[in-house]
Amino acid sequence: MIPALAGQDWSGVLDVLPEPGYVVLPGWLPAGQVAELRAELRALDAAGAFHVAGIGRGSAQQVEQRIRGDRIAWLQADWPAAAHYLALIDSLRLALNRECFLGLAEYEAHYACYGAGSFYRRHVDRHADSADGRHGQRVISTVCYLNEPGWPADAGGELVLHPEGGEALRVVPEAGTLVVFRSDNIAHEVLAAGRERLSIAGWMRTRD
């Protein structure tokens, strides 16, 4: 079951936003909930709910596997495990609005499945045309890992954050780890892994 929302302590996130603009929370999501999300992801994949991810937005979106190789399924509120996760992350959105006055209006997220050898080249999450009156702007990005416990040290698949003016940070995709970072100026990439890599990627947006 999902932990009580009222008991969530988000101070570790609030203290580092906006600067240095990122935080890694190992073991944030309990093993039971990770297993529920992973099982839901696999069931949806077996049912054909996933599609190859593209880059860009709207009519400019295209599939370019030399840049990005994951398959995704956008989380829906009527998927039980996803609904629990969305509610939990929404408590962070509310805390950020309350303490940092960010004006975050919504959160969107998708399951992501990277096959062995797949990767995502270095990029930032805020699109150049994001303030278009329809979608608002991506302000905060999140990644939560759903892999089986005990990710091998030599399996690769790290998320690499490239903060402005700072050293690159590698995050091992251990089950239950949550990464929260700014969407506008934290460039990042996903390194190729030697095995399948599962996660939820999401973004908190303003509304124009």
Ordered by start, the domain boundaries in the chain are 21-52+65-205
For residue 204, what are its two tokens?
């908190």
Question: What is the pLDDT averaged over residues 120-145?
Answer: 80
Residue 134: the pLDDT is 52
For residue 82, what are its two tokens?
């996803």
Q: How far is CA 74 from the centre of its chain?
A: 12
Domain 21-52+65-205 has CATH 2.60.120.620: yes
Average pLDDT value over all residues in the chain: 88
More confident residue, 64 or 180: 180
pLDDT of 115 over the 90 cut: yes
Residue 55: the pLDDT is 55
Contact, 177 vs 26, CB < 8 A?
yes
Question: What is the pLDDT averaged over residues 52-64?
Answer: 56
pLDDT of 161 over the 80 cut: yes
Residue 179: the pLDDT is 97
pTM to 2 decimal places: 0.89
Give the 3-state secondary structure of residue 123: strand
Residue 125: the pLDDT is 93
- With left for phi above 0 and alpha for psi between -120 and 50, is residue 117 left, alpha or beta? left
